[in-house]
Structure 1
Amino acid sequence: MNMRIASIFAICLGATPLWAESHASGDAEAGEKVFRKCKSCHMISDDEGNDIQKGGRTGPNLYGIYNRVAGSVEDYRYGDSIVAAGEAGLTWDEESFTGYVADPKGFLAEYLDTKRAKSKMSYRLRDEEDAKDVWAYLVSVGPEVTETDEAAEATE
């Protein structure tokens, strides 16, 4: 009996990383390298204030971006369009993130169905694989994704 429990436990432990990263198709290690382009404006700092990736403060802190409502980092002064997108239901997942970083203004214009949308983010990460890799990196250094997070994403 104890051997069976130990075997099940070992299988569950082995599957945990696969489950946790199932929502990121990119390569986190490659994404860390690509993120060097992003850190002139963005940093990654955990909830306790520990810097995971030092960077600029022009853009919002990207810690915990997975499933976060767009335009919602406390004490960051967002543009009106990204706030409106968040209020309209935009949350960050791999698809929305890669679409946004490829063309921030165009993405917001399409999401909000208005040509008047603007974005403070002028840099574009047009290579889709690079964007997926950065997403995978951000997810990998963020807080652990829970089943509740996965369920919330599935219902959207």
Structure 2
Amino acid sequence: MVAAGAAAAEDAPPVGDVGMGEKVFTKCRSCHQIGEGAHTAVGPELNGLIGRHAGSLPGYNYSEAMKTSGLVWDEATFKDYIRDPKAKVPGTKMAFAGLSRQSDIDNVTAYLKSFGADGKKLP
């Protein structure tokens, strides 16, 4: 039996706007890539981020803090991280200070979720 709260969460509309998230992602592009042909740059590429273990993308030299964080990138974890990366993972190499507006966090999360691990846009 599914709890009432869990059923309501499953029926809830998605949070965030993919198009607005693409605009927010311009703050990330100097270090990260996403989409077909993406590769590691200053930071790791972000295709298939949701569901990935933190510090696990082959070919990127993560900080020891990220590799040993034990995090798995689900929506809640990513949103918490992107608000204040250094607070979530002390010792991370990521120099970005974070996003302060909840709408920006929701939108960039929706944008990242719109790509599969292969870099293709999801339906």
| TM-score over 0.5 for the pair | yes
Distance 1:100 1:76 in 2: 19
Indicate if the aligned counterparts of 2:17 and 2:111 stay in contact, CA closer than 8 A: yes
The count of residues paired between Structure 1 and Structure 2 equals 107
4+ aligned runs moved over 4 Å, structure 1: none
Gaps of 5+ in 2: 1-9, 119-123
1:76-155 superposed matches below 5 A: 76-85=60-69, 88=70, 90-108=71-89, 117-123=90-96, 124-143=98-117
Identity %: 39
Q: Tell me, what secondary structure is at the counterpart of 1:137?
A: helix
Indicate if the aligned counterparts of 2:21 and 2:107 stay in contact, CA closer than 8 A: yes
State whether structure 2 residue 64 is matched by structure 1 residue 64. Answer: no
Distance 1:24 1:78 in 2: 31
Matched AA of 2:95? S
Indicate if the aligned counterparts of 2:32 and 2:40 stay in contact, CA closer than 8 A: yes
**Length-normalised TM-score, structure 1:** 0.61
Q: Note the aligned Cα RMSD (angstroms).
A: 2.4
Higher relative contact order structure (alpha carbons within 8 Å, sequence separation ≥ 6): 2
Matched AA of 2:109? W
* Higher share in helix: 1
If you compute each CA radius of gyration, which structure gives the higher value, 1 or 2?
A: 1
Indicate if the aligned counterparts of 1:66 and 1:92 stay in contact, CA closer than 8 A: yes
